[in-house]
Structure 1
């Protein structure tokens, strides 16, 4: 059994890593595009990611970024949680977790913070990868404290009428009434009809909504490159032929992730249900294309504190409520914390 670290031979590493990703059809949280995106937001001080090779085949992967926070090192996503190592079988998985522990000790890390991607642990019967019990036991088995929270996932396998029933009661007539008006239209930008000007308008709205530039130009460039490569779709709402709002989605294999939304602030207070219209139309479109689920991500909280250290302010709680209103269902987000006492 060979362990190949990314820093040893990047080309060989990515060859094996991508072959495993394709074979297992893992969610976007494992894709190099997403990893690169997060590294642009906050670059780790070290990247100890590795693959395990047996009989010339990749049998396991482990994404292992190390961040320094308040003078302490952590294997984490900038203080948050990073996806669990994935092995071909239980023997390989055990080896991956053991290697992860060794890396943490060698690099004087205070903790390892892992989560099970909600779409990898999906509760949809025909696509089930791991059961809830398996998720919980996997992290506890290797010494992790259960710090699980909740996540919001839209089930795209349901018939469209059933999806409609999951809309909040007040949202159904709202969406219907506006979609009947000829002055509103939904536009879909994909790999087959890319438009940099429209993408740039989304970026402009993003800056306007935030009141400032919140992330690097490179992060937006990655989004557009993902669109060009078929991993992203941009939906926009037009009012009288002018765009007034956008939603960016990432997708791979069976899975969709709602990544980002932005709208023209001058329509704030207009009562136009910008995101209701875009998300509902996007869900219907992804449903027709055969996608299984849409991860609506954080925030998903009902209250200020949900689970272990998962804080939300009033704005985030309202966003979480909106996500549930447009058809997002709640799933457990399995998270685990391994504290290395000697380094804590």
Structure 2
């Protein structure tokens, strides 16, 4: 048995990591290209301690382990958010991997670890609880693309059907999907729209590296861009991340011109995206975050009015609410106490 760390032997690490991906049914978010995309969000990366567990020249477990500097100390997370939890061939190897993580935490004085489980694992129990993680499971919504097109249409919120039809019947609107000839142009429109959106929202602009990594996903068939054209020009663009079985609605950007403001563009786009992925044999379609039912849903699970409105929209697309299992391990009490105080504040102000 042997641990192979990325920073010590990147070539062997990548070979064995990819061996694991091809040997088991693994969420596309564990692909090394996807991981490079997520790392682009990490502005305060201290070390990447990702590793694999090797037994008899075979990879039996993988662990993505970025360590970043935060105001509270070192954290296993990205931009203070959750990262994909380790995977292993068996519970025995999973325990060995989590023991290794605990040792790394002790050696580097880590204060907090944030993991999430893939929504495509179909678990009935949050496996992170086995390793002393506080369960912070929240909700998301998903479409079962095994359903017939008729059933998918029937499950839409009633008024959404007329909204979608209003654009479908208007010849000035059309759907365009990325391929070799359209990918680069659609990506450029997406970046332009997204930067304007971030600026108007008063948010810090993403680094160009993030957009480049996003394009890399599409170039490697791990993402698709789908847009609504008005008179043959894109006015709203969505990025979808996927493998060949499951897909997730990842991000959205649009033309902020006043004439497009109140049109049901995303209703129209997501319906035709549903048909696009269904026709290509995809099984599950995740609608991502936010997807909340209440302003206060649980510890560290809060939603403002805008997020509740987005969540309402997603449920109207015929989706089913499911649990998205997550967990936090607190290795110092101060971050936990801060979050408890935040929870008290949310409850005081929200109830």
Task: Note whether the superposition's TM-score is higher than 0.5.
Answer: yes
Q: Supply the RMSD in Å over aligned alpha carbons.
A: 1.8
**1:214–1:340 CA distance, 2 compared to 1 (3 A):** same
Partner of 1:295: 286
In structure 1, the gaps of 5 or more residues are 122-130
Specify the alignment match of 1:275 in structure 2.
Answer: 266
Deviation at 1:267, TM superposition (A): 4.0
Q: Give the whole-Å Cα distance in 2 for the aligned partners of 1:218 and 1:80.
A: 19
CA contact (8 A) 2:143 2:286 kept: yes
Match of 2:34 in 1: 34
Moved more, 291-300 or 22-31: 22-31
Aligned-pair CA distance for 1:107: 0.9
Cα distance 1:177–1:269, how it changes in 2: closer, same or farther (>3 A)? closer
Q: Is the 8 A contact 1:114 1:335 kept in 2?
A: yes
TM-score by length of 2: 0.89
User: Does the Cα contact within 8 Å between 1:108 and 1:343 map onto a contact in 2?
Assistant: no
Partner of 2:345: none
Question: How many equivalent residue pairs?
Answer: 331
Change (3 A) 1:215 1:285: same
Distance 1:343 1:101 in 2: 19
- Structure 2 match to 1:164: 153
In the alignment, the residues of structure 1 paired with residue 314 and residue 254 of structure 2 have an alpha-carbon distance, to the nearest angstrom, of 17
Residue 66 (structure 2) pairs with residue 65 (structure 1)? yes
Shift of 1:147: 1.4
Matches within 5 A, 1:197-212: 197-211=185-199
**2:217 maps to 1:221:** no
Distance in 2, Cα, partners of 1:216 & 1:7: 24
Which residue in 1 is equivalent to 2:130? Answer: 141
Question: 1:127 maps to which residue?
Answer: none
Out of 116, 124, 133, the position equivalent to 1:132 is 124
The question of whether the paired residues in 2 share the 8 Å contact of 1:117 and 1:333 is answered with yes
**Cα deviation code 1:165-195 (max 9, x no counterpart):** 22111101111222011111101113x4344
Q: 1:267 to 1:294 in 2, by over 3 A?
A: farther
Question: Cα 1:268–1:315, aligned 2, differ >3 Å: closer, same or farther?
Answer: farther
Instruction: Check the 8 A contact 2:28/2:222 in 1, yes or no.
Output: no
Q: Return the TM-score normalized by structure 1.
A: 0.91
- Give the secondary-structure state (helix, strand or coil) at the position aligned to 2:239: strand
In structure 1, the partner of 2:9 is 9
Query: Is residue 156 of structure 2 the alignment partner of residue 155 of structure 1?
Result: no
